[in-house]
Amino acid sequence: MRTESGSEITMGGGGMRTRIVSICLLAVFGVIGAKGLIVALEGSGAEARVASATSLKPAPRRADIVDRNGDLLATSVTAYSVFADPRAIGEPELIAQELARVLPDLNIETITARLSNNERAFAWIERGITPRQRQAVFELGLEGIGFREESRRAYPRGTLAGHVLGFAGADGQGLGGIEFAMDDRLSGNEDPLFLTIDANVQFSLEAELAAAVGEYEAEAGAGIVLAAQSGEVLGMASWPPLDPHKAAELSRDDPALLDRASGAIYELGSVFKPLTVAGALDAGAVRPGDRFDVREPLRIRGRQIHDDHPIVGRPTPREIIADSSNIGTVKIAWQMGSRRQQEFFGSLGLFSRSPIELAGSARPLLPEQFDELHSATASYGHGIAVSPIAFTSAYASLANAGEVIAPTLLLAPERKRNPKRVMAAPTANLVTRMLREAVVDGTGERADVGGYRVAGKTGTAEKPIPGGYSETENICSFAAIFPADSPEYVVLIVLDSPKAGADRGRAAAWNAAPTAGRVIERIAPLLGVEPRFDEPVPNAPRIRSVADRRGTTL
C-alpha cells in the first residue's frame, strides 16, 4: 500500500544508504590519494632507504702531494660507488647479472650472495667506478640500487716514487708510505704536502736502476740520492716498482710491496771501509802515512779473513780503501779498538732505524756481541745489516764536513735541522779525497764521470742464506760523493744478486759502480753541478763518461 508517508519513508531509507556508500568511497579514494601523494613526494620505503644512503657524508678531500718544485705526485679525484638495499631486491641473481653487463669486473656469485641477504639494509656493489659506468648502471633502472660520490686517490706519474708515496684505501685512509705516515696531515689540511723529492731526479734514478736490474740480471735493487748538507732525499727508488693504484690488490708477500731503500736491510760490504778509516783517523789511532802488512790472511776464532786479490807492498789507509783490502781494514779497526768503533758507528746512526718519515723504516741487524771477530767483520761491512737510507745518511757525514744530519722526505725550509758532529772536518775531507782516488785509480773507476769528480767506494758482500753465506750470490753496492772537491750530493746504488756476464764479473765494480756513474751523469746537470775538465788527476780515465762504457769490454 502506497501512502504519501510510506513513500517518503522508502525514499528516505534509499537516500541514506546512497550517502553512506558515497562517503565510504570518498574515504577510500582519499586514503589512496594520500598514499600516492606520500609516495610521490618521498618515494617508496626501499627508494627512501636508498636515497638516505646516498646522503652518507663522503670523506673529506685528501691533500695533494707534490715534489719540491710543485709537480703533482698524488691527488684526489671524484669517483662513484654503487650500493644496494638488499631488502628492496626481488630477484638477486637477475639483478647481479644485469649489473655485471656494465660492470664486467663483478663476481656474479659474490654479488648475488650480498643481494640475497635481505636482513641487511646496505651492501656495496662496486667501489670507485667511472662516471661512464655510473651512467650505464643508472640507465638499467634497477630498483634498490643507488650511488655514492666519493674522493679517490690518483697518482698521475704512475709508478714514479711509488714506494715513497705509498697508497690510500677506498675510504681515503693512508695505507703505506707517506700516505700512511702523514695520514693526519693529508686528511686534515687541504694545502699540498711538499716532499723533498725532485721528480726529474727520481725519474732518472728509477730509469737507471731498472736498466741495471735488467742488464745485470739482478733480483732486486735500491737507489738513493741525498743532499748532504740538508739531509733532503732528492730521489729514493726500489725495484721491483710499485704502482700505488694497484697496491691494495697485491698479496702481502708480493715483492713489489717491499721498499728496499728504507724497509729492507743488507750487509753492504766494503762501502763500510771508508767509515772505519775515518773513525780511526779521527780518533788518532792511525795516521794517513801509516803502512800495514796485508800479505798474510788473518785467522780469528777459526774464521779466515783474506783479500780477494793480492796487494803489493805495505798499503797506507788511502791504498787500503782504493784497493779494498779486508786485511788492512781489520788492522785499522784493531788500532781503533772495539769500543771506539762501536761508539763511532753508533754516532753515525748505524745501530738504530733511520728516522726517515716512513713507518716501515727497518731496524738494523747487529751482532749479539761485538767481540773480536764481529768487530773485524763489521769493519768491512759484514755481520752488520742496515737499510740503504740509514747507510746513506751515515756516509753523507763525509760529504758534510764531518756532521751527520737526519734524512728527511718533507720539504720544510723553515724547519731547524740539528746536525751532529761525528768527526772533525779535516778528517772527513781527507777521507773524501781518498775516495776520489779510489775512483780514479781503484776499484771504483767504472763510476767515474768526466767533469763531475766522483768519489766513492765499491761494496761486494756474500749474500746471507740459511746456515751461512752464498758462494754464488752477492749484494753489490756503490756509495758515491760528488763533486769530490766541493761535496754536495751522495748517491747509493744497491743490487741484489747481479749475475756475471761474458765480459764482466759479479762484483760491484762491474755493476753497481757503473750504475752509480750513469745516475750521476744524468742528474748532475739537473742539480746545476757545473762540469769541470781541468782537474789534475794522475792516470786519468781512458774514456770520458760512463755512458760510453755500455757494452764496452773493460
pLDDT in tens, 445-487: 999 999 999 999 999 999 988 888 998 999 999 999 999 999 9
DSSP conformation letters of 330-383 = HHHHHHH-HHHHHHHHHHTTTTS---SS-TTPPPPB--SS--HHHHHHHHTT-S
Give the pLDDT mean for 407-413: 95
pLDDT at 105 over 80: yes
Q: Which domains does the chain have, with CATH numbers?
A: 65-195 (3.90.1310.10), 200-243+264-549 (3.40.710.10)
**Averaging pLDDT over each range in 39-48, 58-67, 185-194, 519-528, which range is the top one?**
519-528
Q: How far apart are the first and last CA of the chain?
A: 138
pTM reported for the whole predicted model: 0.82
The grid coordinates of residue 65 equal 702531494
Structural contact between residues 53 and 148, judged by C-beta atoms closer than 8 angstroms: yes
The grid coordinates of residue 101 equal 653487463
pLDDT score recorded for residue 310: 84
Cα 496 to its chain centre, rounded Å, is 17
pLDDT score recorded for residue 149: 83
pLDDT at 11 over 70: no
pLDDT in tens, 138-158: 998 898 899 888 888 999 999
Q: How far is CA 97 from CA 100, 105, 135, 422, 431, in A?
A: 5, 12, 17, 68, 71
Give the lowest-confidence range in 114-118, 257-261, 327-331, 508-512: 114-118
pLDDT score recorded for residue 112: 92
pLDDT score recorded for residue 378: 96
pLDDT score recorded for residue 315: 96
pLDDT at 552 over 50: no
118-135 burial, b at 16+ Cβ within 10 Å, e below that, comes to eeeebbebbbebeeebbe
Max CA separation in the chain (angstroms): 154
- Closest CA relative to residue 476, chosen from 454, 498, 492: 498
pLDDT score recorded for residue 35: 43
Q: Distance (Å, rounded) from C-alpha 440 to C-alpha 39? A: 86
Answer whether the bond into residue 156 is a cis peptide, omega within 30°.
Answer: no
Give me the catalytic one of 270, 324, 338, 354: 270
pLDDT > 70 fraction of the chain, expressed in percent and rounded: 86
pLDDT at 97 over 60: yes
Please indicate whether residue 227 or residue 58 has the higher confidence score (pLDDT): 227
pLDDT score recorded for residue 318: 96
pLDDT at 375 over 70: yes
pLDDT in tens, 321-345: 999 999 999 999 999 999 999 999 9
Give the pLDDT mean for 214-220: 97
Q: Is 270 a catalytic residue?
A: yes
Q: How confident is the model at residue 544 (pLDDT cuts 50, 70, 90)?
A: very low
